[in-house]
Amino acid sequence: MKAGVPIEVPVNIPGQTCRVLVGPGLLTRTGELARDSGLHGTCAVITDENVGPLHAAAVLKSLEAAGSKAVLLTVPAGERSKCLATAEDVCDRMIEAGLDRGSFVVALGGGVIGDLAGFVAAIYQRGIPLVQIPTTIVAQVDSSIGGKTGVNARAGKNLIGAFHQPLLVLADTNTLATLPDREYREGFAEVIKHGAIRDAALLDELDPATPRENLAPLIARNITIKATLVAEDEREQSGQRALLNFGHTIAHAIENVAGYGRFLHGEAVSLGLAAALEISRHKAGLAAAEADRAREKLAAFGLPLALPDDLGTDALIAASRRDKKFAQGRIRYVLVPRLGEAFVAEDVTEDDLRAALQTLRA
């Protein structure tokens, strides 16, 4: 990547236009790039109480310089804001601010904000354009790409949502400098997941010592992996996009049973990946050395591999039953026979899940 020139990642979803840029300094170009994508008029910049004070001013200034009237809407930080009540409140505030069908939404923040703001964009006036500005690793490599939006229900994570592709994604790597260490490290669970299902060489190249300012090529590489799977199966009908759910059935159950906010998403994903690797050993023939290789990479980034005793197995199994990846009462579970390859299995049983959870307590 040349200095000052962002990486443009192709996203070829049939019938959809989505421009994705990765690199430093993109916040200050939000207005110009939104205008180039055909967006103008009033917009809502949706952010949270942590990200807003750090980055909202640059985004608002850029939008207004490009001729857009920008309204800043801030919600409390954390997973608890990802709910219907917050989405309704944001919609009410957008109505009060005069946003109409010609307006657009800018999601400025991590995965919670991207999912919440994307859901609001999908339902407001039956759908208005969306710009994603992800500010965390997990949002830049995963949740801002692909058009899945949604909020949590009491029964489980992401059970209420819609597909709504962003028109523009700006992954400004400068925002990573402001991330606390825990929030920074958790995102690498999704990177390791991408390596496990599609790009085994990525695992060997991952280094916790890589400076944050040098991550643009890695982020672009991960976006390419996700964008390719999404383009093959946007609405998760053929099974290809479902491969991105590796480790997520148990991860979502852990988040639900623990209470949203106790674990960061990537921390729960790390535990889910550890369990999925164990199931892959017994059901798909994954070599023990390969499973250890992936687990060691999770550990290198300080991600959890041991399940707390207060999260009961029965409760986790019950929460797993409510996951979207159950179909007609059967578990559709992603397994890896070898690192870099994955498939959706339908012969994984609850006993397999129980056994895997027990290994996380050992």
Q: Is 148 a catalytic residue?
A: yes
Q: At what angle do helices 111-123 and 84-96 cross, to 10 degrees?
A: 60
CA distance 175 to 182: 15
DSSP lists the bridge partners of residue 156 as: 153
Amino acid at site 233: D
- Which residue of the set 79, 183, 234, 236 is catalytic? 236
CA distance 175 to 151: 24
Q: Is 226 a catalytic residue?
A: yes
Total Cβ atoms within 10 A of residue 27: 21
Domains of the chain, by residue range, sit at 7-179, 237-361
- Which residue of the set 148, 164, 185, 295 is catalytic? 148
- Which residue of the set 248, 281, 297, 332 is catalytic? 248
Domain 7-179 annotated CATH 3.40.50.1970: yes
Q: Is 93 a catalytic residue?
A: no
**How far does Cα 43 stand from its chain's mean position?**
23
- Which residue of the set 265, 281, 295, 332 is catalytic? 265
CA distance 249 to 269: 9
- Which residue of the set 245, 256, 290, 324 is catalytic? 245
Same fold, 7-179 and 237-361: no
User: Would you state the pLDDT for residue 235?
Assistant: 85
Q: Is 126 a catalytic residue?
A: yes
Do the Cβ atoms of 326 and 346 come closer than 8 Å?
no
Q: pLDDT tens for the chain, 362 residues: list them.
A: 555 689 999 998 888 889 999 999 999 999 999 999 999 999 999 999 999 999 999 999 999 999 999 999 999 999 999 999 999 999 999 999 999 999 999 999 999 999 999 999 999 999 999 999 999 999 999 999 999 999 999 988 899 999 999 999 999 999 999 999 999 999 999 999 999 999 999 999 999 999 999 999 999 999 999 999 999 888 887 788 999 999 999 999 999 999 988 999 999 999 999 999 999 999 999 999 999 999 999 999 999 999 999 999 999 999 998 875 555 556 789 999 999 999 999 999 999 999 999 999 97
Q: Is 256 a catalytic residue?
A: no
- Which residue of the set 96, 126, 154, 346 is catalytic? 126
Question: Domain 237-361, what architecture?
Answer: Up-down Bundle (1.20)
| CA dihedral (337, 339, 344, 350) positive or negative | positive
CA distance 271 to 251: 7
User: Would you state the pLDDT for residue 323?
Assistant: 76
| Kind of pairing between the strands at 130-134 and 19-23 | unpaired
Do the Cβ atoms of 334 and 245 come closer than 8 Å?
yes
**Helix, strand, or coil (residue 358):** helix
Two tokens, residue 211? 């400076």
- Which residue of the set 82, 194, 198, 252 is catalytic? 252
Q: Which of 305, 299, 297, 223 is nearest to 272 (CA)?
A: 305
List the alpha helices (DSSP H) in 206-307: 216-232, 248-258, 265-284, 288-300
Q: What is the full DSSP assignment across 149-194? A: EEEEETTEEEEEEEE---SEEEEEGGGGGGS-HHHHHHTHHHHHHH
Q: Is 164 a catalytic residue?
A: no
Q: Is 40 a catalytic residue?
A: no
User: Would you state the pLDDT for residue 68?
Assistant: 97
